[in-house]
Chain A
Amino acid sequence: GQSLEQPSEVTAVEGAIVQINCTYQTSGFYGLSWYQQHDGGAPTFLSYNALDGLEETGRFSSFLSRSDSYGYLLLQELQMKDSASYFCAVGRRDTGRRALTFGSGTRLQVQP
């Protein structure tokens, strides 16, 4: 099976940097993805790591260490609009890696 663990909540102030960690257990690894979901909305794709290292996309970066089964999402220059839930996810082997198993989600609250 697959399981992913994330902190349930994180609070930070505008302009700060926050890191959301994710540890996973999976038989067969097919990359770690990150999704953002605002209340009542659909998840939107943020990043994907298949190999070790850091991927940077604007204010968001994602890191992966396959040997540690660990990754994180780094959000810089936090803005109020970044308040949302963030999910890490891994591809499901039995669906050709296309369906996702999601972590429990981290609710980020950005304060003024």
Chain B
Amino acid sequence: GAVVSQHPSWVICKSGTSVKIECRSLDFQATTMFWYRQFPKQSLMLMATSNEGSKATYEQGVEKDKFLINHASLTLSTLTVTSAHPEDSSFYICSARVGRGRSYNEQFFGPGTRLTVL
């Protein structure tokens, strides 16, 4: 199956700093990637849709100035958490679809990035 990677896998930062998370599709091109957030023992909540070459589409309630998304190529999307605060501590996961063949209906998820803001 298709592979999506994320970097870093975990990060600890001080309150007020910015953190960048990378999401890469390793063996396919993804014009669209998705960013989800998951709090402990809760479900995955869609934060935004990342579109290659255009602006991201944010879900209601997600601050676009705080969660900056850049999708500069067909294999890379980045999420930057600006001026992070402890309430931003969460598990951030990206995903993409190959959209063809046997994997047509399958979403491939990255391994996630655990962010802890002190």
Name A residues whose Cβ lies closer than 8 Å to a Cβ of B. 31, 33, 35, 40-45, 48, 50, 87, 92, 95, 98-105, 107
A45 touches B106 (CB 8 A): yes
Tally chain B residues at the interface, Cβ within 8 Å: 23
Q: What residues of chain B lie closer than 8 Å to A42, measured between beta carbons?
A: 93, 109-112
CA distance A67 to B41 in the complex (A): 31
Which secondary structure characterizes the binding site on chain B?
Answer: strand
> What's the nearest-Cβ distance from chain B to residue A60, in Å?
14
CA distance A16 to B110 in the complex (A): 31
> What number of residue pairs across chains A and B have CB atoms under 8 A from each other?
56
Name B residues whose Cβ lies closer than 8 Å to a Cβ of A. 32, 34, 41-46, 49, 57, 93, 95, 97, 99, 105-112, 114
Interface centre among B41, B107, B112 (most CB of A within 10 A): B107
B43 touches A98 (CB 8 A): no
> What's the nearest-Cβ distance from chain B to residue A58, in Å?
15
Q: A33-B106, A105-B43 are in contact. List 13 more A-B contacts (CB 8 A).
A: A35-B107, A42-B110, A42-B111, A43-B44, A48-B106, A50-B105, A87-B43, A87-B44, A92-B46, A99-B49, A100-B46, A100-B107, A102-B44
CA distance A44 to B45 in the complex (A): 16
Q: A98-B32, A99-B34 are in contact. Are A104 and B109 (CB under 8 A)?
A: no
